[in-house]
Amino acid sequence: MISFKNVNKWYGDFHVLNNINLTIQKGEVVVICGPSGSGKSTLIRCINRLEPTQEGDILVDGMNVSDPRTNMALLRAEVGFVFQQFNLYPHMTVLENILLAPTMVRHQSKGDATALAMELLKKVDIPDKAGAYPSQLSGGQQQRVAIARGLAMQPKIMLFDEPTSALDPEMINEVLDVMKSLAREGMTMICVTHEMGFAREVADRVIFMDGGNLIEENTPEEFFNNPQSERTKDFLSKIL
């Protein structure tokens, strides 16, 4: 579903992604962890060309992200993105936030899009918040709306960039629970997160990044019980 082939990226002189090779199958759940500044956000932002790369190829469901002829609107419609900051439109209700992309980008009828949006609000466990404004919701509820908004485009891939890092501790699990059910339904997911309980429970693979390099990738069991590199061991000793 996603493959990186010898991908390199620089910010000016700074080599932020160093020869990344990575393949992610349909239905796989991959967790990426690593110290701050290691390139995790940059890596996943390259998948829908929120950031351009300078060398190598990234293929997403058969489309080449690096090829200028690729229809990026089509590609982005297949890839849902959930950020640390929920990025909801404050002047729109929850329902309006969710309807925006399906009606404007996918040109779905308002009736069809609304039916799906209400279903998704049930799925993220806030069916009664359709008419609320973001400011009337808790952080955990806002992040669940952001996930519903991503799902409303019926994407094939969901990317999460530290989706629980801005939340108060008591709200983290309600967001992780939604992500877990999505994972169990077979969504292809890449999650940048330091929630290692989540990684142990649902990840097929855990990847450790440091200094723009993919240092280690393994099953959660091997990754946590038998880390190979000193840098991984050092990182795990700080966060576990």
Residues in the site for ligand ADP, rule: CB under 6 A? 11, 14, 16, 34, 36-42
Query: Minimum distance from CB of 135 to ligand ADP (Å)?
Result: 27
Choose from ligand ADP, Mg ion, none: what does 37 bind? Cβ within 5-8 Å by kind.
ligand ADP
To ligand ADP, the closest distance from the beta carbon of 199 in angstroms equals 16
Nearer to ligand ADP, 95 or 203 (CB): 203
CA distance 211 to 54: 18
- Give contact residues for Mg ion (rule: CB under 5 A): 41
Q: Shortest Cβ distance from residue 71 to ligand ADP (Å)?
A: 25
Q: Which is nearer to ligand ADP, 38 or 164 (CB)?
A: 38
Smallest distance, Å, CB 178 to ligand ADP? Answer: 22
Nearest approach in angstroms of CB 192 to ligand ADP is: 7
Distance from chain centroid for Cα 167: 16
| Residue number, nearest CB to Mg ion | 41
Residue 127 interacts with, from ligand ADP, Mg ion, none (CB under 5-8 Å by kind): none
31 vs 120, which CB is nearer to ligand ADP? 31
Choosing among ligand ADP, Mg ion, none, which partner's interface includes residue 140 (Cβ < 5 to 8 Å by kind)? Answer: none
Distance of CA 12 to the CA centre of its chain: 26
Question: 37 vs 131, which CB is nearer to Mg ion?
Answer: 37
